[in-house]
Structure 1
Amino acid sequence: MRNTSTRFPAFASSPFHPPSVLRARGTALQLALLWPAAALAQQTLPEVTVQETRQADAPLETDRRALSAAHVDVRVLELPASVSGVSAVQMAERADHGVVEAATRTVGLSASSEPGNGGLSFSSRGFAGPNSVGVAEDGIMLGVAAGTIAYPDSSWGYERLDVLRGPASLMYGSGTMGATVNAVRKQPEREHSAELLLGAGSRGTVRAGLGSSGAIGDTLSYRLDAYGERSDGERPLDNSQSGKLMSALRWTPRSDVTVDLTADISNQAPSRYFGTPTVDGRVVRELRNMNYNVSDSDLHFQDRRFKAGAEWRVNDLITVRNALYHFSADRHWKNIEGYGYNPGAGTVDRYDYLEIGHAVQQNGNRMALEFKPANHQVAMGWDASQANFSSYSNSPYTGGSTVSAFNPVNGYWDSTDPYLPRTSSQLRQNALFIEDAWKIGAQWLLMGGIRRDWYEFSRLDLVSGAALDKALNATSWRLGLTRQLTERSSVYAQVSTGHDPVTSLLSLSRSSTGYTLSKGRQQEVGFKQQLPEGRGEWTAALFHIVKNDIVTSDPGNPAQSIQGGRQSSRGLELAGAFSVNKAFRLEANAAYTHARYDELMRGTVNRAGNRPANVPRVTANLWGHYRIDDWRGSLGLRHVGGRFADEANSERMPGYTVVDAVLSWNVNPRTTLSLIGRNLTQRVYATSAYNTQWFLGARRSVELTARMHF
């Protein structure tokens, strides 16, 4: 259950930015995105020939640079850590249009998304939620406020999504004990290229994407990506729409100097569905098509991002980089979010009348120097940022109503609690890091790095006038050794540390004054191998993570919360891809995680031995692709094991397996039509839990898309 007392009200609904204005902006943005895509589709395109690259000739995952997992230039095969991802080509093959759908195809990553956490909440290696599994774009994270991450939402415009598993504080700072998902943008190129996506499907789903790159004169190149989608959803008030525009300009005045400018805007109006009531830990199937929210409910996220980066390759041994950025996010919730089903009366009691708003702004600078003395690659740098968080709400969220369970009259918002500014907070961060990759002979690579983070937090309660100041510091490090057994195989071992906040750093409360960052340590060993002739690869990783100083109850005073608890996890992850022949390709992964609380008291109740909420023991993905001439058939299975909805392990959500399929036809060298079927077996399953209700996964759907490259 989400603690609503830590979520704060919406700047988006302030007198300066009412929800209607933001909704109009979202509609205008989507029209702006869809109009050029439709217009472009009507143009006569020049005849071109596109030659498809066979999978066996494509770069292997382990051959790529570990861009999201190391500050230095090291291949994934050599890296003493577990990192993998999904490329734009794979996302297109699987028709994964959302970041959540695409990222959870990777090994061991499952989603626990819901509207309250922004939709980007994951579980990895036994640790779950936005305060333990981070989300970054091109290596930079927006500060997490009240456990909410909402960007990036769609996968359009990204070259790949990388997942670094285990503590990632050396790379990304606090809040990354389980993993970090890093979205890597497509970059400007001087050679002209363009792509167009048009799609329509079940329940009024429509989507369009446009991407273009090329040269402007002798020294400038650009990249533009626009995307919009909408859907009516499966139940009343389940409609959603979103749009975004991503733009990039690259200036190369000299061969050794590159300057990049990016400017993005994203507007999301997700579904206003807050789950289906349960009875005795079971979904009431007869209610799965119902929505008990109010008719004038609102849910809206808007993000704006600007970045200026420069790289100077001084010589073959020294490179200097700098990135200056500004991020902002406005978010608004106005919903009834709690539903209790009364089977005898055939009614649903509604509670938690929440109106909440966030306004987040973050300005920062990242400076880095890379040099290569002898057999070393050394990277060092300094991160500095300041984030401001303004919150509004109608706390204490009182109010209640009762509606028919089967024929609800949704009604309208009638909370008597005033929607007011509540808190204003500021977080200043400074971090210094250094990493070294030392090549010892032809077969050994020793990597080590250390990072020190300093956080200064201040908070003002706008109602009581009470102020809070807090300093939090932490050091993280990683030490790993890789032994290359052959040209195509390696074995590695590493020890790494990290730190998580006990709650979101930008929304610390007065009750958290005495808390420090929770510290964790991981031991990991692994094996990576490429198959002959580029036909595939496989990896294996064994890990053990212990996280200390989680919040527990004081044994001497059960009503008092202190730090001193501990949770741990250990497990095995396997992933591989294999081209059986030119026509048939398999991709598969599986993970087993044994996670538990080692020390945890809640009042006088001992939770030691329980599994953390939203953590499945087993996850697996399988994709098979078969090609005949201009046709390709793809069949995919996603399995997520049973999870507990609470740390008391009193409510268990059953595991599920979903079957998806894509049938594609290359109409000509530049156009591909795809027929997409999702949840073909019509499985009823829960993705996450909130209050006394479960969020249900999407029913069977069919969609037809067209992709054009020119």
Structure 2
Amino acid sequence: MSLSSCASLRASRLSVAVAAALSFPFLAHAADSIVLPDGSRATQLDTVEVKGRKAGLEQAAGTGTRLSLSVMETPASVTVIDRDTLEARGVRTTQEALAGIPGLTVASPPGNGNAVTYRGFSGSQITQLFNGIDVQYASIAARPVDAWQYERVEAIGGPSSFLYGAGAVGGTLNYVTRLARLDRDEAAVQAAWGSFHDGTLAMGANLRIGGDDARQAIRLDASARDGESWVDGQAREASTVAASWLVQLAPTLRHTLAVESQREEDHRPYWGTPVRQPASGRLSVLPETVGRNYNVADGHYGQDVLWARSLLEWTPGERDTVRNTVYHYDALRDYRNVESYRLAPGNDGVIRSGALLQRHDQQLYGNRLEWIHEGMLFGLPTQWATGLDASYNRQTRFPLSLSATVDTVPLAAVTPGQFLDVPGASLVHTPDRTNRLHTQAAYMESLTRLTPSLSLLTGLRRDRIVLDVANHRAVTATNPARFERTYTPTTGRAALNWALTPQASVYAQYSTAADPPAGILSTANFATLRDFDLTTGRQGEIGTKLQSRDGRSFATLAAYRIVRRNVAITDPANPGQTLPVGRQSARGVEASFGWRPSEAITVEGNLAWVDATLDDFFENVGGSPVSRAGNRPANTPSRVGNVWVDYAFGPRWSAGIDLRGVSSRYANAANTLSTAGYATWGAHLDFAWNDSTDLSVRGRNLGDRTHVVYALGSTMVYLGDPRSWEVVLRKRF
């Protein structure tokens, strides 16, 4: 059976499931009449559930601190995108959720996972967490997954190693999964069908065992997505399951067991579109290559991820909370593709190269113990958190890399060959090296209220990281059989917050970070690390936060400067070697706002400007060192903005539009190649069938703008999605 036939069959099966889900509101509506004991009929009214929700800046700060502080009280740039916001914006994946963070851009080419740029930094300089846990390989491990299982997405801008360990010079992102709870029962199902035969079916339920007096609860969330793509031949199957079991062992002791599974299969994944040659100035693509897929017919990417967590919480008194988290992460990722394409000199064919068979086998084990206390310090109200974190991360890679030219195919190529057609290709996984990371950390964070309106927030973390690398291939001077490195970074934060009124505050903070000089420790080799220490990052930030008394409007404004030192660069005296003496910096301004002038209208948005610079940087160009000092890092826009407007024009009808703008970006460190900026817009129309059932029609990129979301060097770009439509039905029980 052909790939297209398989995709059609999968799409047909999912469409049947979606159609079944679409029947829920009508079945529920038909059951509104009930029979009374005397045989008469009466109308059963819909159950109205009233839920309290903290508005705007009153939400818990989450990732921004380990203490019990709101966003308003935290002297840092903190963004929290809650479940209601994810649903209102039609967020399908974790990647789409990140648009809510000021200044952040993200793309997901298969080889980069979530390629995030934030505050002028990117890649491993941005930490991406899962429920506060760092898998130390986020640039790949944080591939977009369906957002259904997540309660919220959080972010803190700038250096934040003092909270979660090495990395995070540009910022930290955190994806928080829904967990079982004892305060209510709830259930929901969602079905979606859209352009390119893209269908999703999801369900979730929280059930208390024992009613209102329950001491146990279980939660299950599951979603399945199956669809083709706007790119020729690409198809994707993905499923996620998250289950948790909460037991109130005693009035002061509770335990939650949480398990998550994520599976993804991408058939013939899209790696990018070749740019017009000769490449110079503003990069562009040929219209006839848009939507073409030059990967081999049996191209493949797949991942299987399993999470397990044991969460124990003890509250021995009103002022103390002790938490212990035992966690395990297991991931297996497989690639089989031809990944690099460039147009022939006459722009009449596509030269393919970069055949790669790759496997990542990764396991992470860890335990985190922390104690949070509220008390007095020298007569001043104080709360502090202290903890110990230990983890063991093991990853083995199995690459078969064939960089030579494979062939030249026509621009209109449909299924250009098989992977085994490539000379030297085989389906044998041979290990390259195994990286073992042993990490122990001690940390402390405290908030002291110096006066009723002035507070001091401090944090300090000491890590001990031992990297042990075993080489499974030929031993050379630059690739020894085994080597070990030990790092002991100390990072911290000090910040003052002045509450001018309960609805207005200003703050100033200084924070530091540390991260590897080149690459990621969980995949690093001897050549990239040598005897170098970790790089250091420092940030100064000032800002203000404002919110109306009724919570209907809010605004934040922050200005910052970040400097990263000891970056690995090409040795000017020896282009074959590197030196840890480079420097990169960024300064910028970020703003976010929300305004609700009436019950019917809501306006939210964010704007950001950044001036990112390679202050001291040499690049190896054809064996010669070339200074890139003063240039902007690749794929770093100077301006990013988002706006969401929603209008309820009837008791059951509402509509909205969303706009996103990204300025031009350079495609190389020389700043000789660039990609055009772009603006896209979307719209949605919502109808409430009843109080528990909603139907939405949503359009994305309605201008059908062909736009570049990520530059892949001087020969390829990764294009964003064209215009698409989606119908979504959501039913709550």
Which residue among 77, 83, 101 is the counterpart of 2:78? 83
Supply the AA of the counterpart residue of 2:86.
M
2:719 matches 1:693: no
**Would you say the 8 A contact 2:256–2:311 is kept in 1?**
yes
**Would you say the 8 A contact 2:320–2:371 is kept in 1?**
yes
The residue that corresponds to 1:503 in the other structure is 519
What is the rounded CA distance, in whole Å, between the counterparts of 2:676 and 2:201 in structure 1?
A: 35
What is the rounded CA distance, in whole Å, between the counterparts of 2:472 and 2:544 in structure 1?
A: 54
The residue that corresponds to 1:631 in the other structure is 653
The residue that corresponds to 1:252 in the other structure is 248
The residue that corresponds to 1:122 in the other structure is 116
2:153 matches 1:132: no
Shift of 1:42: 9.1
2:406 matches 1:387: no
**Would you say the 8 A contact 1:276–1:284 is kept in 2?**
no
Against the structure 1 CA distance between its residues 255 and 239, is the aligned structure 2 distance closer, same or farther, given a 3 Å change threshold? same
**Would you say the 8 A contact 2:397–2:434 is kept in 1?**
yes
Which residue among 228, 233, 241 is the counterpart of 1:232? 228
Determine helix, strand or coil for the equivalent of 2:111. Answer: helix
2:459 matches 1:442: no
The residue that corresponds to 2:38 in the other structure is none
The residue that corresponds to 2:633 in the other structure is 612
Which residue among 312, 315, 334 is the counterpart of 1:313? 315
What is the rounded CA distance, in whole Å, between the counterparts of 1:186 and 1:98 in structure 2?
A: 15
The residue that corresponds to 2:500 in the other structure is 485
The residue that corresponds to 1:404 in the other structure is 410
Against the structure 1 CA distance between its residues 644 and 666, is the aligned structure 2 distance closer, same or farther, given a 3 Å change threshold? same
Against the structure 1 CA distance between its residues 555 and 277, is the aligned structure 2 distance closer, same or farther, given a 3 Å change threshold? closer
2:205 matches 1:193: no
The residue that corresponds to 1:203 in the other structure is 196
**Would you say the 8 A contact 2:208–2:216 is kept in 1?**
yes
Shift of 1:225: 0.5
Shift of 1:85: 2.2
Supply the AA of the counterpart residue of 2:607.
A
Determine helix, strand or coil for the equivalent of 2:550. Answer: helix
The residue that corresponds to 1:7 in the other structure is none
Q: Deviations over 1:254-299 (max 9, x none)?
A: 2211101001110012360111110222122221021111111111
The residue that corresponds to 2:441 in the other structure is 431
What is the rounded CA distance, in whole Å, between the counterparts of 1:143 and 1:92 in structure 2?
A: 29
Supply the AA of the counterpart residue of 2:200.
R
Shift of 1:344: 2.5
The residue that corresponds to 1:274 in the other structure is 271
Supply the AA of the counterpart residue of 2:382.
H
The residue that corresponds to 2:478 in the other structure is none
What is the rounded CA distance, in whole Å, between the counterparts of 1:522 and 1:636 in structure 2?
A: 32
2:704 matches 1:682: yes
Against the structure 1 CA distance between its residues 317 and 616, is the aligned structure 2 distance closer, same or farther, given a 3 Å change threshold? same
Against the structure 1 CA distance between its residues 65 and 407, is the aligned structure 2 distance closer, same or farther, given a 3 Å change threshold? closer
Determine helix, strand or coil for the equivalent of 2:86. Answer: helix
Q: Deviations over 1:143-170 (max 9, x none)?
A: 217x422356221121211111111111
What is the rounded CA distance, in whole Å, between the counterparts of 1:394 and 1:276 in structure 2?
A: 23
What is the rounded CA distance, in whole Å, between the counterparts of 2:23 and 2:162 in structure 1?
A: 44
Against the structure 1 CA distance between its residues 367 and 107, is the aligned structure 2 distance closer, same or farther, given a 3 Å change threshold? same
**Would you say the 8 A contact 1:143–1:362 is kept in 2?**
no
Shift of 1:695: 0.9
Against the structure 1 CA distance between its residues 408 and 188, is the aligned structure 2 distance closer, same or farther, given a 3 Å change threshold? closer
What is the rounded CA distance, in whole Å, between the counterparts of 1:37 and 1:194 in structure 2?
A: 17
What is the rounded CA distance, in whole Å, between the counterparts of 1:689 and 1:98 in structure 2?
A: 22
**Would you say the 8 A contact 2:159–2:513 is kept in 1?**
yes
Against the structure 1 CA distance between its residues 613 and 539, is the aligned structure 2 distance closer, same or farther, given a 3 Å change threshold? same
Supply the AA of the counterpart residue of 1:276.
T
Shift of 1:672: 0.4
Within a 5 Å distance, the mapping from 1:97-176 to structure 2 comes to 97-118=92-113, 120-129=114-123, 131-144=124-137, 147-151=139-143, 153-176=145-168
What is the rounded CA distance, in whole Å, between the counterparts of 1:171 and 1:506 in structure 2?
A: 20
Shift of 1:44: 5.4
What is the rounded CA distance, in whole Å, between the counterparts of 2:435 and 2:222 in structure 1?
A: 33
What is the rounded CA distance, in whole Å, between the counterparts of 2:317 and 2:561 in structure 1?
A: 41
Within a 5 Å distance, the mapping from 1:255-404 to structure 2 comes to 255-270=251-266, 272-279=269-276, 280=279, 281-342=283-344, 344=346, 346-374=348-376, 375-404=381-410
Within a 5 Å distance, the mapping from 1:20-99 to structure 2 comes to 38=21, 41=24, 45=28, 49=46, 51=48, 58-99=53-94
Supply the AA of the counterpart residue of 2:508.
A
What is the rounded CA distance, in whole Å, between the counterparts of 1:558 and 1:392 in structure 2?
A: 29
2:176 matches 1:184: yes
Q: Deviations over 1:330-356 (max 9, x none)?
A: 101111111111262721111001111
Shift of 1:423: 1.2
Against the structure 1 CA distance between its residues 385 and 408, is the aligned structure 2 distance closer, same or farther, given a 3 Å change threshold? same
**Would you say the 8 A contact 2:536–2:564 is kept in 1?**
yes
Shift of 1:220: 1.0
Against the structure 1 CA distance between its residues 680 and 585, is the aligned structure 2 distance closer, same or farther, given a 3 Å change threshold? same
**Would you say the 8 A contact 1:113–1:687 is kept in 2?**
no
Determine helix, strand or coil for the equivalent of 2:696. Answer: strand
What is the rounded CA distance, in whole Å, between the counterparts of 1:672 and 1:571 in structure 2?
A: 40
| TM-score, normalised via structure 2 length | 0.89
Supply the AA of the counterpart residue of 1:380.
T
Query: Where do 5+ consecutive residues of structure 2 fail to align?
Result: 33-44, 476-480
Supply the AA of the counterpart residue of 1:507.
T
Max Rg structure: 2
The residue that corresponds to 1:580 in the other structure is 597
Q: Deviations over 1:483-535 (max 9, x none)?
A: 00001110000000011212111111111222221100000000001113221
What is the rounded CA distance, in whole Å, between the counterparts of 2:693 and 2:369 in structure 1?
A: 43
What is the rounded CA distance, in whole Å, between the counterparts of 1:67 and 1:34 in structure 2?
A: 36
The residue that corresponds to 2:544 in the other structure is 527
Q: Deviations over 1:112-164 (max 9, x none)?
A: 3211012x1211110011x011211221111217x422356221121211111
What is the rounded CA distance, in whole Å, between the counterparts of 1:399 and 1:459 in structure 2?
A: 31
Q: Which has the higher contact order (CA 8 A, sep 6+)?
A: 1
Q: Deviations over 1:370-427 (max 9, x none)?
A: 1112111010001100011011011344451111112444111123145422111211
2:477 matches 1:462: no
What is the rounded CA distance, in whole Å, between the counterparts of 2:507 and 2:20 in structure 1?
A: 47
**Would you say the 8 A contact 2:25–2:689 is kept in 1?**
no
Which stretch shifts more, 483-492 or 227-236?
227-236
Shift of 1:36: 13
Determine helix, strand or coil for the equivalent of 1:421. Answer: coil
What is the rounded CA distance, in whole Å, between the counterparts of 1:312 and 1:89 in structure 2?
A: 29
What is the rounded CA distance, in whole Å, between the counterparts of 1:52 and 1:254 in structure 2?
A: 29
Against the structure 1 CA distance between its residues 462 and 400, is the aligned structure 2 distance closer, same or farther, given a 3 Å change threshold? same
Shift of 1:53: 7.3
The residue that corresponds to 1:651 in the other structure is 673
Against the structure 1 CA distance between its residues 136 and 36, is the aligned structure 2 distance closer, same or farther, given a 3 Å change threshold? farther
The residue that corresponds to 2:37 in the other structure is none
Supply the AA of the counterpart residue of 1:309.
L
Against the structure 1 CA distance between its residues 139 and 117, is the aligned structure 2 distance closer, same or farther, given a 3 Å change threshold? same
Supply the AA of the counterpart residue of 2:323.
R
2:461 matches 1:451: yes
Determine helix, strand or coil for the equivalent of 1:104. Answer: helix
Supply the AA of the counterpart residue of 1:476.
T
Determine helix, strand or coil for the equivalent of 1:358. Answer: strand
Determine helix, strand or coil for the equivalent of 1:286. Answer: helix
Supply the AA of the counterpart residue of 1:376.
T
What is the rounded CA distance, in whole Å, between the counterparts of 2:146 and 2:672 in structure 1?
A: 34
**Would you say the 8 A contact 2:179–2:258 is kept in 1?**
no
**Would you say the 8 A contact 2:543–2:559 is kept in 1?**
yes
Supply the AA of the counterpart residue of 1:209.
A
Supply the AA of the counterpart residue of 2:503.
R
Against the structure 1 CA distance between its residues 52 and 648, is the aligned structure 2 distance closer, same or farther, given a 3 Å change threshold? farther
User: What is the Cα-based RMSD across aligned positions, in Å?
Assistant: 2.4
| TM-score, normalised via structure 1 length | 0.92
Supply the AA of the counterpart residue of 1:182.
N
The residue that corresponds to 1:514 in the other structure is 531
